[in-house]
Amino acid sequence: MSRTLNVVRMQLANRETFVWVPLLILGSSFVISLIIWGIIAAGGVTTNMYGGGAQAPLWYFIAVGVQALTLTFPFSQALSVTRREFFLGTMLTAALTAGILALIFVVGGLIEIATNGWGIGGYFFALDWLWASGPLAAGLFFFTLTMMVFTLGFWAATVYKRWGSFRLTLILVGIALVLLAAIWLITVTRSWPEVMGFIVESGVWGLTVVLAVITIAQALGSAAVLRKTTV
């Protein structure tokens, strides 16, 4: 357990990657959105305004997942850390960062609701569809989505480290073809109304479960590949 925590300290040696850059992206996106809404409100618009800028740091987490392996894995092996300890410590580090972002997301949403969108009807965090099931559901959704994106980057890095860019590309192309086949099947069977109905009926809790399953699958896949990965 102590060496797993040492991996967390190792990953956080450069806090910019896991902490400050995600917060900078989120904060910048929020300020820019607020300025835009202020300009619109000054023009006499009184309707509520919604933005999706809160998802901005999530895309960066693909890069965080990649860097979590490529920048620290070789160093960890020099310190005789097992692959299992490295994996668990890295996932714990990602979960801590995702938890911080999710907490900010929930607190920001509660403030928006209390102030009617910062007094100008602008909603950056408290999106209606996401908060329909309450702040807990919204926070868990944001946390799980962050972890899903992180494990995607980490999985891609482990595959690249184990087999190289050619096989990684083949796998990604294969996944894309499977997704296209699923879209084609849904289209030719005219099942989009049923699919969309299922998504709507599942709600935020249902989507969170789906994201959690994908996250676990990616994490387990990463762990399996990491066992055979050389420095």
The pLDDT tens digits for 81-112 are 888 999 999 999 999 999 999 999 999 999 99
Give residue limits of the domains in the chain: 2-226
pLDDT of residue 4: 87
Count the helix, strand and coil residues of the chain and give each as a percent rounded to the nearest 5: 85, 0, 15
Q: Could you give the C-alpha distances from 135 to 15, 99, 164, 173, in angstroms and in order?
A: 28, 14, 42, 37
Residue whose structure tokens are 């990965």: 229
Rounded Cα distance, 150 and 147, in Å: 5
pLDDT of residue 47: 87
For residue 76, pLDDT beyond 90:
no
What does the pLDDT look like over 182-224, one tens digit per residue?
999 999 998 888 888 888 788 899 999 999 999 999 999 999 9
For residue 231, pLDDT beyond 80:
no
pLDDT of residue 172: 92
pLDDT of residue 205: 93
For residue 59, pLDDT beyond 70:
yes
DSSP 3-state of 154: helix
State the pLDDT confidence band at 32, using cuts at 50, 70 and 90: very high
State the pLDDT confidence band at 179, using cuts at 50, 70 and 90: very high
Percent residues over pLDDT 70 in the chain = 99
State the pLDDT confidence band at 79, using cuts at 50, 70 and 90: confident
pTM, full prediction: 0.91
pLDDT of residue 103: 97
For residue 46, pLDDT beyond 90:
no
Which of 59-68, 70-79, 83-92, 209-218 is predicted least confidently?
Answer: 70-79
Residue whose structure tokens are 């392996």: 69
Average pLDDT, whole number, for the chain? 91
Neighbours of 119 (CB within 10 A): 9
For residue 1, pLDDT beyond 70:
no
Rounded Cα distance, 21 and 17, in Å: 6
For residue 60, pLDDT beyond 90:
yes
